[in-house]
Chains A and B, each alone.
Chain A
Amino acid sequence: MGFLDSILGRTRPKQADLDALFGVPSAAITLQASLGLRPTGLGSVCYRAAGGAAFAETEAEILTLLRNADDAPEISTSHDEFGYTWLVVDDDPDDVGGLVTDLHAVNTTLESQGFGPGLLCSLVPFEDAAGRRVGLVYLYKQGTFYPFAPQPGGTRQRDSLLEINLRETLSGELPVEQQTSRWLALWGAPGL
């Protein structure tokens, strides 16, 4: 964002980078091969609901769009403790590509109506043989991915060892967020 823009107080809302999500299917294969992590079929988009009618219309449009598709996945929305909305897609675990396409449909619809700046992150949960859940999180504004591995038992602690391990595994595959201070803790996110 230009220095002059900031000096004159004309900061524009930051647009989202939507395309990097398409790297997820191949990353899923790597995760399964190297760490035995299988996709759970779940995927979600986290965004801010803007005030006013326009946003409500757009959100309704997205939900009908996804639900009317043939063999449509289970769609639901929920709100987290910070007032952000999570739109959750529950699809066939073996079709990560289909899942990403659905998530992308949500993003492009929001963006086409001018709500791109409201996109925070996307989350695709994975599971290992022991049922341990780990999240692959995509930050729209930074265009980067990072792992989020909550300790089991809801103690709001993170397994940073596993997260570092995941970062190394994924660094060749996806653009990984280097600043760990940006690795948002998404407690209670759908599918984790």
Chain B
Amino acid sequence: MARTRFVGDAGLTARMTLVMFLLGALFVGLVAVLMGVFAQSGSPGIALLIGVGGLGVVWWQWYSSDKVAMRAMGAREVSPEQAPELHGMIDRLCAMADMPKPRVGVSDSHVPNAFATGRSPDRAIVVVTTGILRTLDAEELEGVLAHELSHVAHRDVLVMTVASSAGILAGMLAQGSRYGMFFGGNRRDGNNALPVWLLVLLVSLVTYAISFLLLKVLSRYRELSADRAGAYLTMKPQALASALQKITGEINTIPDRDLRASKSMNAFFIAPAIKGVSLKTLTSTHPSLEQRLEQLAKIQAELGRPTG
């Protein structure tokens, strides 16, 4: 069998599985609690209806992820004739990874960043900003593209959207329960239990907070996995390492106004578009720069181990 230099990271996989399980349990728990609450007022069916409605929203977010992202970033698709080098680079990486080639987009923003989105590998798009094209050299850009293609290969849009279903449902409920307060939802029923809408509001806020943190952790694991797969694809971990250092350095010098614009797209960006990257940013969607550099250095060592 061909010898492989690929060394998996069992710890990362184990922790990722655990967080995905917790998020799944959170969704099931939320729907179960709702059934209990609504059963109290005689109609548990509503909860199932809401649960299905929530899943519908989740499905739609996943299904239209590429269109939404393109509009959000004001990106335009570029053909091979318009961007031959970019397409040539992506063609080769997709051939190496034996994955379908995504569409390619460019977004006019001088925040140096790149992202990939789309509901499946053969319905995906990779977008780079003009800022990143200006900041990185060819090899570094290739490292970033390999990272983004790994997001596509790992179906991160699907994973992150499904994983956020508890959060999305909770968010919907929090909105919905506010209206419930006005439309007679507040009559006390029987043994002066709390009004239905208040219970729903409390449960969904708690769920939302938990899912918010778990999603950030999961997003950091996905970034580390994308770094890992990207480094093995290009076999040049130092290219992505120097790209990350350049991008993170550059981002810290960009006026706030731009960063706010790209803040909403943060989960899939290559580097956290926030200033002051530090260990303590529990809510950061990306592992700290140093954590990523250490992992890339480890892969570099694995790739570089002298022939045994």
Contacts and interface: CB of A to CB of B under 8 A. Distances in A.
B139 A48 contact: no
14 contacts: A9-B12, A11-B229, A13-B4, A14-B97, A48-B234, A48-B236, A51-B239, A52-B303, A83-B139, A114-B2, A116-B2, A117-B232, A120-B92, A141-B96
B96 A48 contact: yes
B304 A54 contact: yes
B235 A9 contact: no
A52 B2 CA distance: 20
A112 interface: yes
A185 B88 contact: yes
Nearest to B239: A51
Interface stretch (B59-67, B128-136, B149-157, B178-186): B149-157
Given A11-B229, A50-B236, A82 B92 contact: yes
Contacts of A115: 5, 235
A118 B159 contact: no
Contacts of A65: none
Contact of A12 (B4, B158, B222, B238): B4
A13 B228 CA distance: 10
A114 to B, nearest CB: 4
A114 B308 CA distance: 10
Given A7-B159, A182-B101, 5 more contacts: A12-B6, A14-B96, A55-B303, A82-B89, A118-B96
Given A12-B4, A142-B98, A6 B88 contact: no
B226 interface: yes
A121 interface: yes
